[in-house]
Amino acid sequence: MAGRHTWAMVSSAMTDLAGSPASDALPAGLRRVAIDPLSRVEGHGKVTLLVDEHNRVQQARLHIVEFRGFEKFIEGRPYWEVPVMVQRLCGICPVSHHLAASKALDHVVGAVPVTRSATLLRRLMHYGQVLQSHATHFFHLASPDLLFGFDAEASRRNIMAVAETSPDIARRGVLLRKFGQEVIRATAGKRVHGTGSVPGGMNRHLSREDRALLHEGLPAMIDWAEEAVDLVARLHAEQPGLYTRFASFRSNLLSLVGVDGSLELYDGVIRARDAAGCILLDGVSDQACLELLEEEVKPWTYLKFPYLKSLGPEQGWYRVGPLARIQNCDFIGSPRAEARRQAFLALGQGEPVHASLAYHWARMIELLHCLEMIATLLADPALLAGDLMAGGERQRAGTGVIEAPRGTLIHHYEVGDDDLVTRCNLIVSTTHNNRAMNEAVCAVAREYLDGQTLTDGLLNYIEVAIRAYDPCLSCATHALGRMPLELTLIGPAGAVLDRLRRSAEGRIERPGTALELERAR
């Protein structure tokens, strides 16, 4: 392993838009917008705001990368390749795809349930995945906004500035993520492109050496996770108005829960609550989850909009992810995280908390839960020995549902007699949260857009709102020179009123020429 150290040593030391949106899909009085083809490069973040004649924001459109084409990429491949191949979907949560595919294909090979050892090893791997992703998200992406304020200049709102001013926080973030990566390496075999989970089970046990290494690091990690929950709770307490109001809107909540109603990240049944916290549906098998959902297509984006079929697109959309999970469940099965959850729930005064920024708080509660669960699992001898593979009668299809760091992740496969995948359907967390992210951006724009001029401040606020959901941009390429954010304001007649662009280097650019504005239209 590269740069391997003991924990003691370490501690000391988009994208694009459809080109021809139908005008009848637009609200009355608003015009369609097409984006400059030059910007059709994966990895751009693009936000379009549509305002009416009174400069009120009527609609926000967040255009982000989707796995378009990935299903076709999988179809025609042997099913046993899929759990490894799908890891290329995402550089941030490849393990979630690895496990969701494995779970779906367990059904295809008739291995349901898989053995106890395999289940525990997969769970351990998944807790490592959620831990490392949550750590990166909070410490790397969110903490600069939260610690320095949303108005802080872009050059300060980054992990480097946190490392300068609060080196302990930055160091803990790095080491928590590193610990999660070590869990993944120990269970999947490698930090990247792991092969530990296969259809029907696992292909390796945890080694005694790795168990000892992870044991050594755990106490400090759990302490740091508790302090991270306290930190985000304190930030909420210091500015309750801002944290409650910012990008807040009511929505349904959807997630897996355990059959006993506990918080469940790896395997369970589907539950959904309405905005008031009343259960809409519960106990739905993961194999039936696709029957619950439909996906609405909008003409301006490739990213679909899922909703509960029974409620329709306007009433049936929902949020997924940490905020949904810790409020959808009845309890968390690990004591420290459950105590923190109870404190969090008090914020809602009997109703679910709907503030977008509360995602960060919920995320840190889950991070603590992951560490507690890792501690519990490491004590189980079934990680070190026991049957790894199960089998049974071949089936033609299977669905795997898992709670990935950003929310519910669904993989569905159909496999022919020749073992080749004939159909692949993936619904990822970012897609589930598509409507919610647009609502969050809209809420922020309605509050902070003043007139017809886009400001650096508004760009900042929109970034903060989007970061709460952590949309998956990581399936995009990461070649040098990419990843800007572009904000466009469109008037009621379809005219581009303003554009603002932040380059990957942090420069704010305002295309000012008539030609550039015309191209943006």
Partner 1 sequence: MLVFGWGNRARGDDALGPLAIERLRAKLPATAPIEFLEDYQLLPEHALDLMGRARVLFIDASVTASAPFELSEPVAAVDSAWTSHALSPAALLKIHQSLRSGPVPPCTLLAIRGECFGLGEPLSPLAASNLEAAVTWALGWLSETGESTRTFVIN
Chain residues binding partner 1 by CB under 8 A are 2-3, 5, 10, 13, 41-43, 45, 67-70, 72-73, 85, 88, 91-92, 94, 136-137, 139-141, 154-155, 158-161, 163-164, 167, 170-171, 173-175, 177-178, 181, 191-192, 463, 466-467, 470-471, 473-485, 502-506
The Cα 50–Cα 247 span in angstroms is 17
Which residue number, 151 or 282, has a Cβ lying nearer to partner 1?
151
The Cα 325–Cα 262 span in angstroms is 10
Contacts of 292 (CB under 8 A, 6+ apart): 270, 281, 284, 308, 309, 310
CB 478 within 8 A of CB 446: no
Residue with tokens 């992870």, as numbered in its chain = 214
Which amino acid makes up residue 124? L
Q: Measured from the CB of residue 228, what is the shortest distance to partner 1 in angstroms?
A: 15
Which residue number, 32 or 467, has a Cβ lying nearer to partner 1?
467
Q: Measured from the CB of residue 213, what is the shortest distance to partner 1 in angstroms?
A: 15
Task: Rounding to the nearest 10 degrees, give the CA dihedral for residues 320, 184, 464, 237.
Answer: 80
The Cα 383–Cα 187 span in angstroms is 9
User: Quick one: tokens of 42?
Assistant: 């994966």
Q: Measured from the CB of residue 132, what is the shortest distance to partner 1 in angstroms?
A: 8
CB 300 within 8 A of CB 291: no
Which residue number, 452 or 477, has a Cβ lying nearer to partner 1?
477
Which residue number, 174 or 284, has a Cβ lying nearer to partner 1?
174
> Measured in whole angstroms, how far is the alpha carbon of residue 111 from the centre of its chain?
28
**Strands of 318-467, DSSP E:** 318-319, 397-404, 407-415, 421-427
Q: Which of 413, 119, 107, 436 is nearest to 265 (CA)?
A: 119
For 10, other C-beta atoms within 10 Å of its C-beta total 17
Q: Measured from the CB of residue 483, what is the shortest distance to partner 1 in angstroms?
A: 5
Which residue number, 312 or 506, has a Cβ lying nearer to partner 1?
506
Which residue number, 77 or 521, has a Cβ lying nearer to partner 1?
77
Which residue number, 111 or 462, has a Cβ lying nearer to partner 1?
462
CB 410 within 8 A of CB 427: yes
If residue 252 lies in a helix (H) or strand (E), which one and from where to where?
strand 252-257
Q: Measured from the CB of residue 459, what is the shortest distance to partner 1 in angstroms?
A: 10
Q: Is 138 helix (H, G, I), strand (E, B) or coil?
A: helix
Which residue number, 88 or 394, has a Cβ lying nearer to partner 1?
88
